[in-house]
Amino acid sequence: MAKNNSGDKSGDNRRNQARENARRIAEAQNKKERTAKTILYVGIGVVVVVVAAIVGVLIFQQSKPGITPANVVAGGVSMAKDGEVVQPKQMPKGEESDLPSPADAGVKKDAATVTVYLDFQCPGCKAFEDANAPTLEKLADEGSIVLEYKPVSILDRMSTGNEYSTRSANLAACVIDSQPETIRDFFPAMYAQQPEEQGNGRTDEQLLKVAEDAGVDTSKKLKSDPEQTVKSCVTDQTFKDYVKKTSSEALDNGVEATPWVLINGKHTDKTSDPQALTLEILKATGEIKG
């Protein structure tokens, strides 16, 4: 009697089919896992690249110097007769300017350079301006001096978080950049509304109003950045980094307080005595011997 093997073959077929199905399932699962890992690694790589790019941009932005206002050389604005903006008598090494030379503006050969470091939050600077500005401007009009102003920000702590020193120096840079002819009216106007120390400073709107009342056109574009106006320069604090940089340089160069006045580069302590200051200046020009 022949043995029936059909049952065994059927069982073998089912086992083989089960093994094949299991192999296919395992292969599909492995493929999914490989795909998932690839997506994960690619995603991680993209994130790393994006983060690196962001960090690079931030480092670049922090390391690049702030935009320099037009009409400013070596952190200051130099003025001759009728407030005309000129180059310094001694151009710093490595710097260039398309401003007229002092000689071209009628400044005498032996004229002295009077440099005033100021902070618009500083009461002493206001007192110095009130007492000495008329004489200094007269000497500039006569061609006896080049009058150089260097606004700095060292008294932000005195405006209860408002950073008035920095913001007012930024406004001065905006005005010097676009309308230097208004400086003689603008500076006294800033001192006339000087906020009290430990007060709230002034808002952007108030600062712009002071500038407008002094004859500044706040809608005028900047020379250094035609996409900006004086108004946007104030609200965006366009020259904030520049102000911080030049203020730090002033301290590094020996400025200890404001007002800090130099005559031909030498510090004078005659800031509270207009007659003594004038005498010292005229001695520096050679107009008075002694």
Kindly list the domain boundaries of the chain, sorted by start residue: 7-64, 77-285
Provide the 10 A C-beta neighbour count for residue 70.
19
The string over 244-274, giving b where at least 16 C-beta atoms fall within 10 Å of a residue's C-beta and e elsewhere, is bebbeebeeeebeebbbbbbbeeebebbeeb
Other C-beta atoms closer than 10 Å to the C-beta of 8 total 10
Helix (H) or strand (E) holding 225: none
pLDDT tens digits for 140-151?
999 999 999 999
Which CATH superfamily includes the segment(s) 77-285? Answer: Glutaredoxin (3.40.30.10)
Instruction: Scan for tokens 């991680």, then name that residue.
Output: 44
Q: At what angle do helices 183-192 and 204-213 cross, to 10 degrees?
A: 130
- pTM for the model: 0.78
Three-state SS at 263: strand
Q: Give pLDDT tens digits for 234-260.
A: 999 999 999 999 999 999 999 999 999
Report the share of the chain in percent with pLDDT over 70. 79
pLDDT band of 290, cuts 50, 70, 90: confident
In this structure, the strands spanning 266-268 and 85-86 are unpaired
In contact, 149 and 186? CB cutoff 8 Å: no
Are the CB atoms for 81 and 62 separated by under 8 Å?
no
SS3 221: strand
Q: Mean pLDDT over residues 261-287, rounded?
A: 97
Say if strands 145-151 and 112-118 run parallel, antiparallel, or are unpaired.
parallel
Mean of the pLDDT values across residues 66-78? 94
Q: Give me the pLDDT at residue 94, please.
A: 86
Task: Evaluate if residue 17 carries a pLDDT over 90.
Answer: no
Helix axes 183-192, 164-178, angle to 10 degrees: 160
Q: Which residues contact 203 (CB under 8 A, 6 or more apart)?
A: none
- Angle, CA 239 vertex, CA 98 and CA 53 arms, to 5°: 110
